Every structure is written in C-alpha cells, then in structure tokens.
Chain A
Amino acid sequence: MNVPILLIGDVLLVSIQEDLSDDEIIDLQDQIINRVSASRTAGLVIEISAIDMVDSYMARVLNEISSMVSVLGSQTVITGMQPAVAIILVDMGSELIGVKTALNLEKGLDLIHELIEERRSISAYVPSNEGDEE
C-alpha cells in the first residue's frame, strides 16, 4: 500500500491512489489518526479521485475517520469523488457518507481552510454575559 500523507501548513493531505483492501483501509485509518493527533493538524483532506468504488465498508471507515478527527478537534473534507461512486453511494443508502465533500482538491483545500477559520472564530469567541450582569 502506497498512500502519501503530506502535511501542508496545518492541513494533512491524504491521497488514496489505488484500490485498497479492508486491512489496508484500517491501516490507513490508524496512520491518519496518529498523524492528526501527533501533528496537531487543523484539517484533514482525503483525496479519492483514483478510487473507483466505495462500498459500505469503505464508506463506514471514511465516516469513522471523520468522526475521530472531529473528536480530536480537527475537520475533514473528502475530495474528488467520481460521479459513478457518488451515484452508487446514494443507490445503496444515502446515510453512508456523512462527511463534508468537495468536487476537487482545489475546492477541498478552500473548504477546509474555511472550516478551520470558522472553528477558530468560534473558539475565540468569549461570551460577554458576565459583564452584562454587573
């Protein structure tokens, strides 16, 4: 399995370039979570344009990665899903992909930066209630 995991600024970019077996997907999940946790990544982008099939198992793992990354305080965007893959995911049950997606890598990077900014502004917000009550 050769899946490059690159840190670009505070965004981790994972580019899946071949059809992966279930074991390989789970290995990748471990690697991603370890990297996100170790590098204090603000966002994760998973590029899947080379993937020609996402079945229920792969969809579940992608969902799980996104949930885990969210618990770690980061955001996930999946980019480049092939139209046929999207059609089949909807055919099988639309609840399968609950992850944010973008048409291509460029749009995905834009989106992840927006999400990161959004999150930063929320955590920087300090409620002024105490002051009002004085």
Chain B
Amino acid sequence: MTTPIPELVPIQRDSDVVTARRIGRDMAKTIGFGTADQTRLATAISELTRNVIKYAGEGECTIFNESDTTHNRIRVVVEDHGPGIPDIEEAMEDGYTTGGTLGAGLPGTRRLVSEFNIESKPGLTRVEIAMEKQVW
C-alpha cells in the first residue's frame, strides 16, 4: 500500500481558504467519510485558514490521508509565522474574538473534529486537527 501524498495548500489570499476547504472536502469524500463529516472538515479548515489570513497574512495548510485498514483518518496542519495568539486559553473560550467574527472560530472548530491541538508563540502558530472513523 503506497503512502498517499499530502496536499499542501499555500494560504495567501481569500480564495485560498475556498481552495483549502474544497480539497479537504474532496479528500474526505474520496476516503469515504459521510456528508456531515465532509462538511465538518471543510468548515474546520475554513475557520483555521481564515485565521491565517486574518491574523498572520499568510501561511499554509497541509492535508494528510492517514487511513489504514482499520480507520479512515484525515489530519490537517495549519501553520503560520504571524504574531501568535497571546492567550490561547482565552481564544478557546466561546464568544472570544478579536477579529470581528462571532468568536465561534476556534472553540467551534474544536467541537467539529476528533482531535485538536494548538500551539502558538510569536513567529509560529500551528493548529493540528484530525477526523477519524473506524472502518467496519
């Protein structure tokens, strides 16, 4: 079994957010995730890549197919070299926003996926999410 090549999407402008979420959805569909999960992943990617544009200007989004014989699994890493998130705990609270959205971005995204990890310091913000489903 060959290891699938990850999809790297540079995030530099508005339209890249659309591209990234479409590629994520397509991969989820190809692997066999249902419509709701495809939509969850696309929405999560949209939120994370928008943050890159909004707070860091540019970055990248890499989407990995890590499925094996027992599990369907997609991992997404979104990275930028912007100023970083000053207070991650605060940013993960419902209703928190500095960017003029409803503040559902990060906490909402965490609720959509099976794994969510975030690290941030000035010069590097890295969010890693994964969606997993057992293959019966």
Contact surface of A with B, Cβ cutoff 8 Å: 19-23, 52-57, 59-60, 63, 82-85, 87-88, 91-93, 95-96
Contact = CB atoms under 8 A, between A and B. Distances in A.
Interface stretch (B15-23, B62-70, B75-83, B118-126): B15-23
A52 to B, nearest CB: 6
A93 B21 contact: no
Contacts of B40: 88, 91
A92 B108 CA distance: 4
A93 B94 contact: yes
Nearest to A20: B18
Given A22-B50, A88-B40, A88-B112, A93 B14 contact: no
A52 B36 CA distance: 10
A56 B42 contact: no
Interface residues of B, number: 28
Contacts of A23: 14
Contact of B43 (A21, A22, A92): A92
5 contacts: A21-B17, A22-B14, A53-B39, A57-B50, A83-B36
A19 B21 CA distance: 10
B127 to A, nearest CB: 15
Interface in B24-79: 25, 35-36, 38-40, 42-43, 46-47, 50
Contacts of A93: 94, 102, 104, 107-108
Contact of B102 (A52, A56, A85): A56
B36 A88 contact: yes
A19 B43 contact: no
Contacts of A56: 47, 101-105, 108
B91 to A, nearest CB: 13
B112 A22 contact: no
Contact of A92 (B14, B25, B112): B112
Given A22-B50, A91-B112, A92-B104, A55 B14 contact: no
